[in-house]
Structure formats: C-alpha cells, structure tokens
Chain A
Amino acid sequence: MEAFHGCPGSRMMDFSQKNVQASEEPTGKIQSQLRQWPIQLHLISPLAPYYRGADVLLTADCVAYALGDYHREHLKGKSLAIACPKLDEGQDVYVEKIKAWIDEAKINTLTVMIMQVPCCMGLLNLAQEAAAKATRKVPIKYLVVGLQGEILQEEWA
C-alpha cells in the first residue's frame, strides 16, 4: 500500500463498510438540543442572552457529523458556537469573541470539541489564547473526536 503524504485532514477515507449493530441504532425521533440561532462564530454575538453565565460549547464544524450522539451527550444544556480553524478567515475576531464570552458574558465553562486531525488543534489554541487574554478565569475542557466518532481524548486545558 502506498504511503499517504498529504494533509491528514484531507486524506480520503471510506468508513461505509462500518458495521453498525441494530442494537446501537436509537429508536424513535431524536430531539435536537440546539437552543439558539445563529451558531457560526462569525455570526454570533458573544453577549447574546443565551451565552450569559452559560456552559458554552465551541465545536469544530466537522465534529457534529462524526459524533453519533453529539446532541444528547454534548450539546444538551449548553450554548453553542461552531467554527473551522482551517478554513475560516478573520480568526482574530474569534479570539476577541471568546474573550468577550469569558469577561463580559461571564460564561460558566467552555468546552472545546475538535477533530483528531492536526489542523483542528487550532481551535483549541484560539480558545487558550483568548483565555490568556481574559481577566476572568473559567474551566476549559477539550475533547478530541476520532474520525469514526470515538472520543479519543478528554482533558482540562
């Protein structure tokens, strides 16, 4: 097999043969846990009422597609923003918005969910940069999600 030399984030992979056991399939309609709009980090106002004092979830764009139970296990009870650290432009604004969450919206906690691909670490770096600039301190946790939806890592930042 030929070795892959390109960007791991763009490497083509096919999981279509993955065997999903019938017992793993949820039954009934799955409720959305989203409780706000907008969600894209460029579009949100960090001072929107649903961020004030909230547990905020900052998710890399691909995470919700990779993770089967994203809504129930991770989004539930949290206020959301999504971003892509690889493709989004104007990421300085992201740092300012995250800082505003911490200092002005006085969020309770921040959870950052990223994919395992190396470029995704950029989103955690943005959050850490913002936290270092902020006056308040809040617990920040990050979760790294595998390409097939497994939680590979869960740590306090």
Chain B
Amino acid sequence: MEEYLNKGIKEVISEFPAVDKILEEYGIGCGPCSVGTCLLKDIVAIHNLPDDEQRAMMARVAKAIYPDKVIPLPPITAKKETAPKELKYSPPMKTLVDEHILIKRWLALIPAVLQDLDLTTEEGRHLILQGVDFIRSYADRFHHAKEEDVLFGYFDPNLDILKVISQDHIVGRGHVKAVVEAVERQDKETVAEHLTAYRNLLTQHIKKEDDILWPWMERNLTMTQIGELYAKFQETDERMGLSTEKFEHFITNLEKKYQS
C-alpha cells in the first residue's frame, strides 16, 4: 500500500479506476485534474477528513488496489489538529474567496454569452474582449497576483498542490490568448472552444482553492503569518490601484442582459 500512497493520483486512478469513484464519494474530486501529480497520501492528508471517514475510505481504496489481500493501513500523517470548532476563513483567505464570487458570476454567464455571440459585429467582438479584460485584469492580475506573488511564498514551492494551481493559471492564460487570436479572425468556434475550456478549468480551480487549498493553508499558517498576509494583500491592492467597480458593473450589466 505504501507504494501507492507515494504515487501520483493520476497514475493510481489510471491503474485502478475504482479509486476515482471512492475518492469522489468522500468529496475528493481528483479525477478531472489536469495534472494529477499529487501523491495519494498528500491528497488524503490535505482533505483533513474525520479520522473514522479517512480510515473507511482508505480501507476501500486498499480493497480496490488489492482485492484479494488484507492490507494493514499506514497512518496518514501531516494532519494538524485544528481548534475544537472549525474556523471560518481568516480575513486574507476571505478576501480571495470573495474575489472568486465575481469570477464565478462571469463563468456562469459564458454559455449565454457564447450562445448569442456574433463576431462579425463590432459589438460582439467588443463583448468578448471586455470579458478577456475582466479575466486578465481582475481574475489574473488583481486576484492571481495575490496568490502567486504573496500567498504561495509562505509554502514550499515544490508542493504538488501549488504546482497544480500554478499550472491551472498557465493553462488559463493559454485559453485566453487563444480567445483573443480567434476574435481577430472572427472565428466563433475557437472562441467558444477556449472560453468554455477556460470556464471548466476555472470552475474546478476555484472549487479546489475554496474547499481544499485555502482551509489547508489556513491550518498551516500562524496568526503572525495571517496578519502579514492581510497587510500584504492590502498593499498589493493599493499598488495596483485597480477599481473593482468597473468589473462589478460589467458583470451586473451582463447579468441584466442575459438573465432577464
């Protein structure tokens, strides 16, 4: 079992597809991950399941891997006990979660935007480029900069989960670049393909961060680090001087147009 605990999740799932389903039942949705290099043992530890659930899940995983053997389960460590009651997000993490809300509102609009899209018109092209500006300025520069330039600096850069998150950012930027190029060619099909791929990627990405990465990071940050992070996030916002109102206005107007 030790051997598989130290293997990348994608490798484990491709060899034993039943493991994907078992993990999913416990809220561990690693199946669609584009990278899948996180080790099985790290994934189990990072989700911080209650001990009895973790034991039950690992027993099922062991059974899926070794159906004919009884396997003693090694303890999964790296689990830092939290206070008696679960904490809500700390202020810096809440900042990131709150910024996700506007991004999710844009992601929710993408199918409707694509359905009505006419790239032969100036209006149609402008709409997509406004969406691209939202992604590049708000989601990437304003939001992801806090993650990559500040938050991730508090953790080991070799952590698989951080590599996965950073890789998502890179893949997302690639989709956006492809959208811009396709707008110039008035190629609606390619715009739709890459904007939809971006939507799917970011939906999973935000879920990974809100549900798993932020709570895990929070458990591993000291109170001093939480204070430093909050101050650095505010400094980053001030330095960028970006008005978020413009983007909120853009999303609200689109919602009125497509959801009325």
Enumerate chain A interface residues (CB-CB to B < 8 A). 55, 77, 107-109, 111, 137-139, 141, 143, 150-156
Q: How many angstroms from the CA of A108 to the CA of B199 in the assembled complex?
A: 37
Main secondary structure on B side of the interface with A: helix
Q: How many residues of B contact A (CB 8 A)?
A: 18
Residues of B within 8 A of A109 (CB): 223-224, 226-227
Alpha-carbon separation in the docked complex, A127 to B87 (Å): 19
The residue among A55, A139, A150, A154 with the most chain B CB atoms within 10 A of its own CB is: A139
Question: Knowing A108-B228, A139-B91, A139-B227 touch, does A153 contact B85 (C-beta < 8 A)?
Answer: yes
- Complex CA gap A154/B92 in Å reads 17
Q: Told that A139-B227, A156-B88 touch, could you supply 12 new A-B pairs with CB distance under 8 A?
A: A108-B224, A109-B223, A111-B223, A138-B230, A139-B92, A139-B226, A139-B230, A141-B223, A143-B83, A153-B84, A156-B90, A156-B94
Residue of B nearest to A157 (CB): B91
Chain A to chain B: the 4 pairs with minimum beta-carbon distance, closest first: A108-B227, A109-B227, A154-B83, A139-B91
CA of A73 to CA of B76, assembled, Å: 25
Give min CB distance, A14 to chain B, whole Å.
24
A70 → chain B closest CB, angstroms: 15
Interface residues of B (CB under 8 A from A): 83-85, 87-92, 94, 223-224, 226-228, 230-231, 234
Closest residue of chain A to B234 (Cβ to Cβ) is: A137
Quick check: A152 and B84 within 8 Å, CB to CB?
A: yes
- Return the chain A residue nearest B224 by Cβ: A55
Docked-complex contact B227 and A156, CB < 8 angstroms: no
Q: Is the interface of A mostly helix, strand, loop or mixed?
A: strand
A156:B223 contact, CB within 8 angstroms: no
- Please tell me if the beta carbons of B84 and A151 are within 8 angstroms of each other in the complex: yes
CB of B84 within 8 A of CB of A150, answer: yes
Q: How far is the CB of B143 from chain A (nearest CB, A)?
A: 18
In the assembled complex, the Cα of A143 lies from the Cα of B85 at a distance in Å of 10
- List residues of chain B with CB within 8 A of the CB of A151: 83-84
In the bound complex, CA of A156 to CA of B230 (Å):
13
Contacts of A108 in B (CB 8 A): 224, 227-228, 231
Closest to A107 in B: B227
Closest to B94 in A: A156
CA distance A55 to B224 in the complex (A): 6
Task: State in angstroms the CA–CA spacing of A143 and B83 once bound together.
Answer: 10
Tell me if B85 and A137 are in contact (CB < 8 A).
Answer: no
B91 touches A156 (CB 8 A): yes
For the complex, give the distance between the alpha carbons of A46 and B90 in Å. Answer: 25
B97 to chain A, nearest CB (A): 12
Once the chains are docked, how many angstroms separate the CA of A2 from the CA of B224?
47
Cα distance A109–B87 in the bound complex, in angstroms: 16
Q: List 30 A-B contacts (CB under 8 A).
A: A55-B224, A77-B224, A108-B228, A108-B231, A109-B223, A109-B224, A109-B226, A137-B230, A137-B234, A138-B227, A138-B231, A139-B90, A139-B223, A139-B226, A139-B227, A139-B230, A141-B223, A151-B84, A152-B84, A152-B85, A153-B84, A153-B85, A154-B83, A154-B85, A154-B87, A156-B87, A156-B88, A156-B89, A156-B91, A156-B94
